[in-house]
Structure 1
Amino acid sequence: MKLTQKPAIKALFKSAKQELTEDPNQRIPVHLTVTTTSKTNVRVPGQRGMNNISVPYVIPLHHKIHKSISQAKILLIVPHPTAKYAEIFQADEASTKDTFADIISVKKFRPKLRKDPLSVGKDFDLIVADSRIHEEVVECYDRLSKKISLRHLTKPFPIRFIQPGKEDDARDANMFADPDYVKAQVRGLLRSTSVTLPRSMACEQGAVNLTALVGYLPDNTAKEIEENSHRVANNIVDNLVDGGARSTKTIYIKSPKTVGLPIWRLEKEGQTLEEEE
């Protein structure tokens, strides 16, 4: 899929320049949104053996947009009791000794989320949960979303504590988790972006918007935003949109203070976005 990005990215940087003059320390997020045509279904590829819409769809990026694992604040949600897992992941010899800013049980996470959900999202760069209790964690978000809007909050990512196929060996060794395997998953997530899938996969009326973060200004250059956008747009259209490009109405990028800036549009009367520019 050929995208026309340069005019949109130029407009983004122009807007960001003014914002950064007012507050030089801020990081301005840039999101890409794929809008489907009406009545288009969204496919749900299985990830890590979990074919579930509660699992954010992960897309590896050309250029990193998140902090490195040593700089990021990461929250790990575990089954109760917490102490058993903290002892493993924060042991002096563990590779994850300095990986997690906090380890909390799902039992204690529920009231924390209910009390101040936006703070939870801002306090951590990444939130991950043991895959065995991930559904339980997501239900906390779903119940809360009926009362307030949580559309800007990314749901926690599930991670496996033991590598698939090695569960029996771990059980024999009385090992609850493998820090090296967990750290590898966290590192992979920090090198990726994600799409939170809609609850309804079959859209009977309107279009579906599929959105992913593709960079921050001024951290990422125009070329990095362009290459990340290209990878994310093509991945979403090829893997999530039933019908691919034929069922994609428009693709645009935007920052919080700009309108949606189109970089691709479904051909209309033989005319493409590139020809319209």
Structure 2
Amino acid sequence: MAGDSKSLTTKVESGSPYQLDPSQTLRAASALLKKISGDSVARKDNGGKANLLEDADEEEDSDETATTVWLNVTTKKHIADQRKMKPGKIIVPFPLQSATSPSLRICLITADPQRKYKDIIASERFPAQLSSRINRVLGTEKLKAKYKTYESRRQLFAEYDIFLADDRIITRLPNLLGKVFYGTGAKRPIPVAMQGKPENARDEAGNKRVKLSEGGDKLKRSEITPEALAHEIERAVGAALVHLAPSTNVSIRVGKSSMTADQVAANVDAVVTSLTEKYIPKGWRNIRSLHVKGPNTAALPIWLADELWEDEADVLEKLPEAVVKDKKKRKRALLETGAANTAEAEDETKSTKKSKSDGAEKAARKAALKKQKEESKTAIAAA
């Protein structure tokens, strides 16, 4: 289905419409990078004054002039039932950041004992260029004992650019680090697989291991090698992170202004493919729109849904009947539709009669009180 001249976006001419048109993505990426570059030149021409309102965490790349490119995803229904504290990782063809960047400062949070991982990083087999970027290794016990106060956590937050954490303890960190780290997604710890490969995932016959809850053996893993740990760290640093929340919007960092339009388009395609297959319920059917944008630019559409509903069952053939609050009108409506039964009608009648009798008694009391006042006035005047 091709888009006409009035369409904001174009779609593929053949096959399912639930896929990106590479030409549309490339055009949007090219226009966005051109706009960001033009704004950068304009700022320099105006005296080169820095914008104090810009988020310093947006520029995490070694290239200090690079501006973040975001993919904005709008869905038809909520993506998640509750906020996910563990961010998802999407590996992109062109990493968003290099783990060996000279200005990068990494803090690695590990399961205890931390000495085990310090020795791995200090090993000769671990890349020296990467180990120089890992400025600190923290175990959970030391993290819990040393960073209890709000100020100490703020200081830790400010000291490092990226926080990596063992994926086995990632769900415990919100209680240990608090809202300083989890109030925003700027430096939320990124999960890293810090265990070796499973040794008994299959038996000798090639069958899958029986779960421990079903009477099987406990899963055993080999010790992770320095080369494997370095590979996992590099993948985590360069990945696109997905922070899911109970909403219909999610923004994902997919590139930077120092990339080419082809590189940004390739990253967008990889992120959208992973989102539809793994993170968004119902996949493409639940997506309403996809846009790319910079921190201070308009959002450029790359895909728009033709319908606003996820499933045909969500479309109502007629409007639901309005709820009538007035008792008399509700009784009349029930009688007209045949939904009122004798007991309900009697209850309505009784309540109406009761309200009338209550009104009569109230009027009688008012009349008696008025008569007493008049008699009192007459007696006072006669005296």
1:123 to 2:124 alignment? no
Residue 117 of structure 1: CA displacement? 4.7
Indicate which of 169, 191, 209 corresponds to 1:133.
169
Unaligned runs of 5+ in 2: 1-18, 51-62, 201-218, 309-383
Once the two structures are TM-superposed, the CA of residue 181 in structure 1 deviates from its matched residue by 2.0
Deviations, residues 1-43 of structure 1 (Å, cap 9, x unaligned): 1243314641343133322544794221111121111x34449
- Is the CA contact 1:154–1:196 (under 8 Å) kept in the aligned structure 2? no
Partner Cα separation in structure 2 for residue 255 and residue 131 of structure 1: 31
What fraction of aligned residue pairs are identical, expressed as a percent?
19
- Tell me: CA distance 1:25–1:178, structure 2 relative to 1, closer, same or farther (3 Å): closer
Greater relative contact order (CA < 8 Å, ≥ 6 in sequence): 1
* 1:14–1:41 distance in 2 versus 1, CA, 3 Å: closer
* Separation of aligned partners in 1, 2:143 and 2:249: 29
Closer, same or farther: CA 78–2 of 1 in aligned 2, 3 Å: closer
Contact 2:99 2:233 in 1 (8 A): no
Q: Is the 8 A contact 1:138 1:155 kept in 2?
A: no
**Matched residue, 1:179:** 226
Change (3 A) 1:29 1:104: same
In structure 2, the residue matched to 1:49 is: none
- Partner in structure 2 of residue 204 of structure 1: none
- Paired with 1:130 and 1:43, the residues of 2 have a C-alpha distance of 25
Distance 1:121 1:267 in 2: 45
Q: Give, as a single letter, the amino acid of the residue that structure 2 aligns with 1:263.
A: I
* Cα distance in 2 between the residues matched to 1:64 and 1:73: 17
What letter corresponds to residue 86 of structure 2 in structure 1?
V
| Aligned counterpart in structure 1 of residue 179 of structure 2, from 132, 136, 144 | 144
Q: What residue number does 2:120 align with?
A: 88
SS at 1:101 equivalent: strand
- Structure 1 residue runs without a partner (length 5+): 45-51, 201-206, 270-277
| Contact 2:165–2:189 (CA under 8 A) maintained in structure 1 | no
How many Å separate the matches in 1 of 2:149 and 2:87?
19
How much has 1:55 moved relative to structure 2?
3.1
Task: Give the TM-score normalised by the residue count of structure 2.
Answer: 0.54
Aligned to 2:250: 210
Alpha-carbon contact 2:167-2:194 (below 8 Å) kept: yes
Give the letter for the 2:250 counterpart: L
- Give the direction of change, closer, same or farther, for the CA distance of 1:132–1:234 in structure 2 (3 Å limit): closer
- Are residues 169 and 184 of structure 1, via their aligned partners in 2, closer, same or farther at CA, if it must alter by over 3 Å? same
Pair member with larger Rg: 2
| TM-score, L = length of structure 1 | 0.72
Match of 1:62 in 2: 93
Deviation at 1:237, TM superposition (A): 2.4
Which one-letter code corresponds to 1:165 in the other structure?
E
Are 1:226 and 2:265 counterparts? yes
In structure 2, the CA distance between the partners of 1:169 and 1:81, relative to structure 1 (3 Å rule), is closer
| 2:276 counterpart of 1:240 | no
Contact 1:59 1:192 in 2 (8 A): yes
Measured against aligned partners, the alpha-carbon deviations of 1:28-67 in whole angstroms (never above 9, x if no partner) come to 1111121111x344499xxxxxxx9443222221222211
Q: CA deviation at 1:89?
A: 2.0
The CA distance in 2 between the partners of 1:70 and 1:163, in whole Å, is 28
- Name the SS of the counterpart of 2:72 in structure 1: strand
